[in-house]
Chains A and B, each alone.
Chain A
């Protein structure tokens, strides 16, 4: 394996990790407010299809990204209505959202299968343009990648340094305490879910508009679930999620590299690497992290008058 291919893996890891990171940040917001969103996969699919479609129609990838974020937020609002207003089971509602996303994304994306777009423009890291073009060409990233880390920092700041974040975390730990403190747990959950969906949509937009620049059914291939596992891995902290996303992005990139390098392992078996890795992460950290999870995660909030 040459230096070039290693650099290629790193570059791929960053591309792959960026969309994972956004999705994970979105899920962190959801779960910090006490809601498990298993439907992220469906949300991402719908966002990817919507964003891609808008980009094809308007020729403007930035509009596409915005459309994807909006679509993601709306999908999650649907989910929020079920789990907050109707007090439905979060796991089942999430899965219903996932199926809805499977279908809606196929419907929305149908006219655009096989379409080509130009995607987002890519810029070199400042300072790298001095390096030989073969190397520096590996490190040309689009706007969304550059914004990924700042977004993670922003989310961390929001959660831990602002009144809004304090209230959100309180709702995730103990909605009754938050209510007693004058917060409205329902309204806060709606906000968290909308933002979470928008972030997931951003991740999906990066996938379809900036990286692959295509649309295909089920193209997110389980990233929504990997994000849920990454939330546990990163102990519900946005900054640790960066490390996790890079790790997984690296795994996906590594797998692609192996396939391309002609090593005699069946590509089908290699395909399973990200999921096996996710399972291992869950096994290693799932049990021990339980006490780090927001205390009211997954529980239905019944309101003050019971």
Chain B
């Protein structure tokens, strides 16, 4: 696959960084196989591909987190060996990760000082602060140097990350899915920053799977698919269809567009009336929540992670009780009920990180299945468990959902997608009446994502109420019957997806528009 022409703005043919025949293998998967890449100064180079295409792995090799199994890297034409992030940083390569490598307890200045390449043995924080102020003025990266990072918004934290890179004398900036956690107008702000950096000759690699961003700002585009380069083109040559065609081998079967049902006048599956909770430590307290979910509808909760989603989930599930207000399940007061009692009413939970939050890793799939309904399978007062009954239920549920999972494999041996399937299988067993799905498809591959969304729609068809908490606006708009926005513990909405747009929702998600909107009727 030949590389495209260098961008017209570039003076000469020598790329800043050149990677040839990069290869990296992990147990069971070839993450990168013979990948070539050039990055020139003063360009924004988009690295495009679906989850698992190998984009992160490639860049982590450039940044020294992984050692390549094969391949060569050159810097300005000279060979470069990178054994650790230290070497990468010395070469002027900086990387901004999806999980920020910031220390919440430190101030902005301390965080940046930590990453400075030539920090004196006795630290002069004042000098660090001065340098921060200089740079932030130049590239519109305004942050308060003395503030603790835990107090900053995600967008501000990202700015600190960028400052860190700039102050470490990075000339090549690698940004790994930077807009995942940003609202639409924050994305625009980031793009401005990138453009101003590009003007000054910085080279930027943008790892993303969002076509719109790529078409908006990239100079050149390399598309990866299953660990190989599927194609490389200039911005001028690219359009959505072409890019999609390179990203995927075949057309995806889209989620079946089901008619959005009108909520019947029934008893709500879940009703929150004036609920307030108190947060612990770094959590978010929920304030004056009013929300109803009816059987047979999907209510989507949009919002940036950290605005009360976790607390909302724990509240509904019964892990935490509200300070004020009441929670009704199917018309009955369930405000102080335990998790066990809540589950008995037919409430089920599908969390975003199944291995961490819903399964016991060393137990088999079958044992994990039995866990949530031990009441059903216990015999002789708990002295024995009816394993044939567990297997029967498992088989039945598998048939209904069309999944096939190995019964006796330990949970930790399953892939992310299969784990999620297992949890969905378990939670759907016996026909739940209310499903709480939290970041259902985060980190999943395409097929598993489709399978998970399909399962939700199926549940909705079957009359379950669904609360879908997600950061993915596309997903929320596609699946929800009604949409609310969670910001700093308050709810705005509900809206009908057809009657609003991503920008409005985005503004609510980041507090640019107030959430003092009408309560749920």
Contacts and interface: CB of A to CB of B under 8 A. Distances in A.
Do the two chains touch directly in the complex (Cβ atoms below 8 Å apart)?
A: yes
A76 to B, nearest CB: 24
Interface stretch (B117-125, B236-244, B390-398, B466-474): B117-125
Given A163-B123, A170-B114, 11 more contacts: A163-B119, A163-B120, A163-B122, A166-B110, A170-B103, A173-B103, A173-B104, A173-B105, A181-B114, A182-B84, A182-B85
B122 A179 contact: no
A251 B337 CA distance: 45
19 contacts: A161-B123, A162-B121, A163-B120, A163-B122, A169-B106, A170-B103, A170-B106, A170-B114, A173-B103, A173-B106, A174-B101, A180-B95, A180-B97, A181-B85, A181-B114, A182-B85, A182-B89, A294-B105, A295-B104
Minimum-distance CB pairs A-B, first 7:
A177-B101, A182-B86, A291-B281, A180-B101, A173-B103, A181-B115, A181-B114
Contacts of B84: 182
Q: State the majority secondary structure of interface residues on B.
A: loop
B152 to A, nearest CB: 15
Interface residues of B, number: 26
A180 B89 CA distance: 9
Interface string A147-181: 00000000000000111101101100110111111
Contact of A180 (B85, B104, B110, B120): B85
A169 B89 CA distance: 21
A290 interface: yes
A283 interface: no
Interface in A70-115: none
B102 interface: yes
Given A182-B85, A305-B66, A176 B101 contact: yes
A295 B123 contact: no
Given A164-B121, A166-B110, A174 B85 contact: no
Interface of B: 65-66, 84-86, 89, 95, 97, 101-106, 110, 113-115, 117, 119-123, 281-282
A177 B102 contact: yes
B87 to A, nearest CB: 9
A304 interface: yes
Contacts of B113: 166
Interface in A276-296: 290-291, 294-295
A177 B113 CA distance: 13
Contacts of A179: 85
Contacts of B95: 180
Contacts of A183: 114
A18 B477 CA distance: 65
Contacts of B281: 290-291
Given A163-B122, A182-B86, A304-B65, A291 B282 contact: yes
Given A290-B281, A295-B105, A166 B122 contact: no
Interface in A223-267: none
Contacts of A162: 121-123
A294 B103 CA distance: 10
A183 B113 CA distance: 13
